[in-house]
Amino acid sequence: MAEGDAEEREILAFVQALKRLHGYDFSQYAPASFKRRLRALRARCGADSIAGLGRRLEREPAFLRQVLSGLSVPVSEMFRDPWVFQALRRDVLPVLASYPRIHIWQAGCAHGEEVYSLAILLQEEGLYDKSQIFATDFNDVALEEAAEGIYPAASARTYAENYLQAGGRGSLSQYFHARYERIKFEESLKRNITFAGHNLGTDGVFAEVQLILCRNVLIYFNDTLQDRVLRLFRDSLVHKGFLCLGAKETLARTPVERDFECFDAQARIYRRGSA
């Protein structure tokens, strides 16, 4: 048997074991990206093969946390792609301001950087008190870190630059405390944020919302899973609600394309139609 074929069989067995033992299904993730992350996990764990990872998963239930951390892609930063947050501030939030209550779903929130960015945006536009943000992810480890709101102080300069480019009305430092080379965001920013587990690959509609942000997540899914998730987002949005995707993601040539209109092409913001 060729070495590549053997590895593919080991990957398939690992994916099946992960689903059977813990209910996490990675079978519809983009194969090349998933394979890279699995190989990196194997190297980090010192396993001689992917089959070795599978055996450890069978023997050590606690190993799941390390697996999920390795296989998910919780990489982000505050106000990433500042022009997106400019567009949200300038064009989307004034529309949402007309609602008595604003419900927002941050899907695939990872470590929470964009959730706190959104909270700051709402705060500065005077909308936070009537807003509720649902921040979800399938990775419990990432969710725990997101709920803590603690990040490396070395990242603060980049975060602050992004904040200003996104139209920030003050200084980002007013929203966090710095200590021991870490920054911790104010507890007041969390009061209207609900962190919850949700698997885009298996779970249903999370809530009826006016805005969904899911940026740079779909690129890690295959076409079948992308289509499922986009239908889920469509069904979760109110009429004329907004969907914000990542810079490399689009609704073009997807089954839900006709259900949306392009609101801002550069920022990848779409608006739910009546179809």
Kindly state whether residues 31 and 136 are assigned to the same domain: no
The average confidence (pLDDT) of the chain is 91
Contact 202, 117 (CB under 8 A): no
Global pTM value: 0.88
Kindly state whether residues 18 and 122 are assigned to the same domain: no
Kindly state whether residues 8 and 126 are assigned to the same domain: no
Integer Cα distance of 236 and 259 in angstroms: 13
Integer Cα distance of 110 and 150 in angstroms: 13
Kindly state whether residues 175 and 118 are assigned to the same domain: yes
Instruction: Please determine, for residue 75, whether its predicted confidence score (pLDDT) is greater than 90.
Output: no
| Beta pairing partners, 135 | 106, 195
Alpha-helical regions (H) of the chain: 3-22, 31-45, 50-59, 63-71, 82-87, 93-96, 113-124, 140-148, 156-165, 223-236
For residue 77, tell me if it sits in a domain. no
Kindly state whether residues 220 and 184 are assigned to the same domain: yes
Domain end among 50, 71, 92: 71
Integer Cα distance of 174 and 186 in angstroms: 9
Instruction: Please determine, for residue 3, whether its predicted confidence score (pLDDT) is greater than 60.
Output: no
Kindly state whether residues 119 and 174 are assigned to the same domain: yes
* Greater model confidence, 28 or 13: 13
For residue 76, tell me if it sits in a domain. no
Q: Return the minimum-mean-pLDDT range out of 10-19, 27-36, 253-262, 265-274.
A: 27-36
Instruction: Please determine, for residue 1, whether its predicted confidence score (pLDDT) is greater than 60.
Output: no
pLDDT digits (tens, 9 = 90+) for 160-184: 999 999 999 999 999 999 988 999 9
Domain end among 49, 71, 93: 71
Integer Cα distance of 243 and 256 in angstroms: 12
Tally of domains in the chain: 2
